[in-house]
Structure 1
């Protein structure tokens, strides 16, 4: 437990040191999307009985929680390749499960911070949705999934270039095709079948349904929880292999 808290506290100290830069960075993307897609292209458009702005906010929450949770991989890589802190963890009496848990919690924290910024921007734009327990449960599960994936991938890559490739070929396409900006059911049937394999598609659906006050669909929550748990175990395995 102490080892987990030590890892988590270290990440929080790094986040606090560059807090205002992080907040500014987290604000730019969602603000541009809201202006360009919400106020520009989506003005006067209704989707699923809601204004496009109301449709867009939950999608941005799903996308941002994914991106910011996965971004913990960059912090891990900096610690591994430049500061050699991972080698110090190897020598310290910190269990691997504590290391993985601390880093995953740090990724979830980053994601929740970015979501708070998006919801604040949405409130300023006059968008009021239902941020109930199912909304936050979907957010946490989505963040947990991608933070676990981040730890796993950070142990496998050999350089920042490899990390950039993962982001460009996996995270970025998912951000635009996972039901963030448009309903997946408007895609061709063959594309819908492919997109339903993406975890972000289910996260966006669960978050949006909860935000609209609709009854939760247990399948999306169950899929996120199971996938996240599998990735967490894989992250633990990858840390074990990296320490050998």
Structure 2
């Protein structure tokens, strides 16, 4: 793991340099969702005794932890195709495992920052949720899944433009279909079966259940862990191929 800290600190220095812009970018979309869907429509849509805001905020947490973790792929691509930073990593005495772990942890850190922004934005709306250990475990596993996927995809794409296509065809549809804005249980059985293959569906379910004080299902955590480990292996394999 020699060099792991160096890779991670490099990404943190870049994040520090762009901190204000990053925070603004992380806050705009969630704030719009909270105002338009949550505040304006919160009294019109209810799930039992709870308002739509109680349903929406955990979904936004799941979505933000996905999108912000996957966003590390953009930085990796810029460094790889325009700054030739990856070539410097190739020449440096840094193992592939250290590189993948450092970039993955950087993506997770960015995602956790995005989650913190959403939780702070939700405070003025008066929604009381539970943020216990299982809540943060589900968030961390979701961050791990998509940060690992981001590193893998950043190594597999052939150009920076290809990365935008991946976001449009994979991340954006998942953000709206993974149980973030509506209950997956309201869909037909065949649609529920298809969406059960999406990691965000399990992340949304686990995050929402724990934040609302409901029992968490261990299966959701197991699925996220297995998928995350697979994506991490894929990222390591992709870096090995890119360095050969």
Residues 27 and 118, structure 2, Cα contact 8 Å, conserved in 1: yes
Residues 41 and 52, structure 2, Cα contact 8 Å, conserved in 1: no
- Runs of 4 or more above 4 Å deviation: none
Would the alpha carbon gap of residues 194 and 2 (structure 1) be closer, same or farther in structure 2, given more than 3 Å must change?
Answer: same
Is 1:188 the equivalent of 2:188? yes
Residues 149 and 235, structure 1, Cα contact 8 Å, conserved in 2: yes
Residues 2 and 95, structure 2, Cα contact 8 Å, conserved in 1: no
Q: Tell me the TM-score normalised to structure 1 length.
A: 0.98
**In the aligned structure 1, how far is the partner of 2:47 from the partner of 2:75?**
38
CA drift of 1:191 comes to 1.1
Q: How does 1:20-31 map to 2 (within 5 A)?
A: 20-31=20-31
Q: How does 1:214-233 map to 2 (within 5 A)?
A: 214-233=214-233
Residues 138 and 207, structure 1, Cα contact 8 Å, conserved in 2: yes
| Partner deviation per Cα, 1:177-225 (whole Å, 9 max, x = no partner) | 1000010011122211111111100000000000011111000000000
**In the aligned structure 2, how far is the partner of 1:7 from the partner of 1:148?**
15
Aligned to 2:88: 88
Residues 122 and 128, structure 1, Cα contact 8 Å, conserved in 2: no
**In the aligned structure 2, how far is the partner of 1:50 from the partner of 1:31?**
20
Task: Tell me the secondary structure at the aligned position of residue 6 of structure 2.
Answer: helix
Q: Tell me the TM-score normalised to structure 2 length.
A: 0.98
Is 1:135 the equivalent of 2:135? yes
Task: Tell me the secondary structure at the aligned position of residue 206 of structure 1.
Answer: helix
Aligned to 1:37: 37
Aligned to 1:199: 199
CA drift of 1:2 comes to 4.4
Is 1:118 the equivalent of 2:118? yes
Task: Tell me the secondary structure at the aligned position of residue 41 of structure 1.
Answer: coil
**In the aligned structure 2, how far is the partner of 1:3 from the partner of 1:92?**
9
CA drift of 1:43 comes to 2.6
CA drift of 1:48 comes to 4.7
CA drift of 1:49 comes to 3.6
Task: Tell me the secondary structure at the aligned position of residue 40 of structure 2.
Answer: helix
Aligned to 2:73: 73
CA drift of 1:158 comes to 1.0
CA drift of 1:3 comes to 0.5
**In the aligned structure 1, how far is the partner of 2:143 from the partner of 2:207?**
12
**In the aligned structure 2, how far is the partner of 1:156 from the partner of 1:137?**
29
How many pairs are equivalent? 244
Aligned to 2:160: 160
CA drift of 1:39 comes to 1.3
Structure 1 unmatched runs, 5+: none
Structure 2 unmatched runs, 5+: none
Would the alpha carbon gap of residues 225 and 177 (structure 1) be closer, same or farther in structure 2, given more than 3 Å must change?
Answer: same
Aligned to 2:15: 15
